[in-house]
Amino acid sequence: TTLIARRPASIRPSPSIAAKALVTRLRAEGRHIIDLTVGEPDFVTPRSIMEAAQAAMQAGDTYYTPSNGTLALRQAVADKLIRENGLSYGTDEIVVGCGAKQLIQTAFAATLDPGDEVIIPAPYWVSYPDLATLNDGVPVVVPCLEETGFKLSPSQLEATITARTKWVVLNSPNNPSGAVYTAAELAALGEVIERHPRVLVMTDEIYEHFVYDGQSQISFGRAVPALRDRTLVINGVSKAYAMTGWRIGYAAGPRLLAKTMSDLLSQSTTCPSSIGQAAAVRALSGDQTFVVQARATYETRRDRAVELLDAIPGISCKRPAGAFYAYPNVVGLIGRRSPDGIRIADDLALAHHLLSAGNVSVMDGTSYGLSPYLRVSFATSLEAIEAGCAAIARVAATLD
Ligand code: PLP
């Protein structure tokens, strides 16, 4: 066909969004599906945040805002970065966008020339490689194995950097593995990057508040202050405040990059919703009890999900340190056959089979660049987690 251009034709639709759409369709057809694919909190946005949005509307806050976001929100972000992350950024070094995803897309658009390489440790959030490709970049995927905690090592990084490397993308806590890098691990990666002056660091910290066992996340910029001029922090209110539908994210980095991203945004969305921005000011500046409670709830669910998954013959599941996903190893089920003769060739086939035979929807590790695994979300009720894991166990027991 001549309709679609070369670049978008090579882009996959987001697998996690496709999975959500499939669950919605099957449910509409009357199937009872247990959904463990969810990439968003199952809580309601806190009332005080909704009230701030209502107040903004009523006060006439209903016009275009600056394309890098309202000064009030950029100030709230600056205050949050210093308070929670120990990072000092001016309001002209901060850009607000329609979600962290749009800011990642815009950062790539602002910086990638054709052939520039983007180093992406796997397992990775599904969108990084496609967003790099969409902007003429070349994703360079580095497998980070379970034995090393699904984390990128300094020697792996050193071996992957070339003269074409433009970005290293770090995501801690990680979607889908839950891996959380320590300050020392970040510092060691930073030492490697310091030796390569052209390389930039994109640090996606959107799951920062969801770290368990009394531990906490440390921002890359805090661990490696020497790279401040080459670091772009990506974050947003989607996960922390159960605000995925409000579409507000933010980025902080070098002034010239922030300015270029803002210029690009002025030619696409113009600005995020003024009302969403007012809500985000309240989220970042208001009472933070919600976040603390959410973390405790996820921790309980994590413990239950891991316990149930790890008990299934053929599956082994480590306890993720952060985020809200378990990433169980399913190598013990690969190559087996279902009673009706379907061969479970890989984790994609397993996920398909779990949906058709068990009415339970999970993500396949293939989509995240490291197999054979499943991604099982625990951003859902304990009942759904228990019923979903029971369904997985039931189907697994029929494979031989
Ligand atoms: N980064 C990671 C690692 C994510 O998992 C997600 C959402 O799933 C995003 C960014 C996008 O978040 P936002 O809703 O701010 O676009």
- pLDDT tens for each residue of 352-372: 999 999 999 999 999 999 999
Q: Please give the Cα distance from 235 to 120 (Å, whole number).
A: 17
8 pLDDT band, cuts 50/70/90, is confident
Atom number of ligand 1 nearest to Cα 104: 10
* pLDDT of res. 1: 67
Ligand 1 neighbourhood includes 388 CB (under 6 angstroms): no
Ligand 1 neighbourhood includes 236 CB (under 6 angstroms): yes
* pLDDT of res. 14: 84
Average pLDDT over residues 77-105: 98
Is 139 strand, coil or helix?
A: strand
Ligand 1 neighbourhood includes 36 CB (under 6 angstroms): no
Report in angstroms the alpha-carbon separations of 208 from 74, 81, 313, 316.
19, 12, 33, 26
Bridge partners, 145 (sequence order): none
Atom number of ligand 1 nearest to Cα 100: 15
Q: Please give the Cα distance from 351 to 379 (Å, whole number).
A: 18
Dump pLDDT digits (tens) for 125-141: 999 999 999 999 999 99
Dump pLDDT digits (tens) for 237-264: 999 999 999 999 999 999 999 999 999 9
Ligand 1 neighbourhood includes 125 CB (under 6 angstroms): yes
Average pLDDT over residues 295-304: 98
Dump pLDDT digits (tens) for 266-287: 999 999 999 999 999 999 999 9
Q: Please give the Cα distance from 30 to 26 (Å, whole number).
A: 7
- Which residues have C-beta within 8 Å of that of residue 376, sequence separation ≥ 6? 36, 305, 309, 325, 326, 327, 328, 362, 363, 388, 389
Decide if pLDDT at 21 tops 70. Answer: yes
The answer to ipTM > 0.90 is yes
Average pLDDT over residues 86-97: 98
**Token reading at 231:** 């670091």
CATH numbers and ranges of domains, the chain: 6-44+290-397 (3.90.1150.10), 49-285 (3.40.640.10)
Dump pLDDT digits (tens) for 373-395: 999 999 999 999 999 999 999 99
Atom number of ligand 1 nearest to Cα 102: 16
